[in-house]
Amino acid sequence: MTPEERPGALLLTPGAGSDRNHPSLIAIEAAVAPMPVARVDFPYRRAGRKAPDRAPRLVACVVEEATALAARARLLPERVVLGGRSMGGRMCSMAVAEGLPTGGLVLISYPLHPPGRPERMRTEHFPAIEVPCLFMSGTRDAFATPEELEAATAQVAGAVTHVWIEGRGHGLEGADALVATSVAEWLSAPTVDRR
């Protein structure tokens, strides 16, 4: 892979109940340095509200922030990797499925379904994702068991890598260093090996 094809910047988004200063997002930024990183808040957080906006507004925010990061870093959009925790990662995946160019997706604690509601899968857009994806989850995540997530991600058209954090729930408490290291290793791997 040439330098022009490697991931050149990373956009990170928080989960619904957090903000851009979540410890794991800060740890990831440190682990991938000197790669440019933008940790961003969604509009409802910037406005001081706790309840997330509807998906179209959140997806529009991802598109806007990814475009701005590519411009600041002077990169083609295809060299910017997108992702984040839980809802944030899901919104990034939806933006990519809708056509936003990217070099890949980093999806930490992907909320496959509401806890206890496995019939309400959030995977309709998966077949439209054609870029490499890193899915990192705890083995006790109430939003997706390992079996559920592996079955669902088989629908993704791009190469999928799974990293499981044994015994952890959705918050991945105490695993920030492992999360950050795993993201950094995945980003530095050749494209052909990111699966």
Q: What is the pLDDT of residues 2-35, one digit of tens each?
A: 556 689 999 999 999 999 999 999 999 999 999 9
Residue 1 belongs to some domain of the structure: no
Residue 70 belongs to some domain of the structure: yes
DSSP assignment of 58-88 equals HHHHHHHHHHHHHHHHT--GGGEEEEEEHHH
Number of domains in the chain: 1
Residue 60 belongs to some domain of the structure: yes
- Structure tokens belonging to residue 23: 């410890």
Query: Could you give the angle at the alpha carbon of 179 between the alpha carbons of 89 and 75, nearest 5°?
Result: 55
Q: How confident is the model at residue 91 (pLDDT cuts 50, 70, 90)?
A: very high
Residue ranges making up the domain that contains 115? 9-188
CA gap 188, 64 in Å, rounded: 25
- Structure tokens belonging to residue 102: 């990217």
Residue carrying structure tokens 């990519």: 96
Report which DSSP code applies to 113: S
Of 44, 60, 77, 152, which Cα lies nearest the Cα of 107? 152
CATH of the domain at 173: 3.40.50.1820
Q: How confident is the model at residue 114 (pLDDT cuts 50, 70, 90)?
A: confident
pTM above 0.85, yes or no: yes
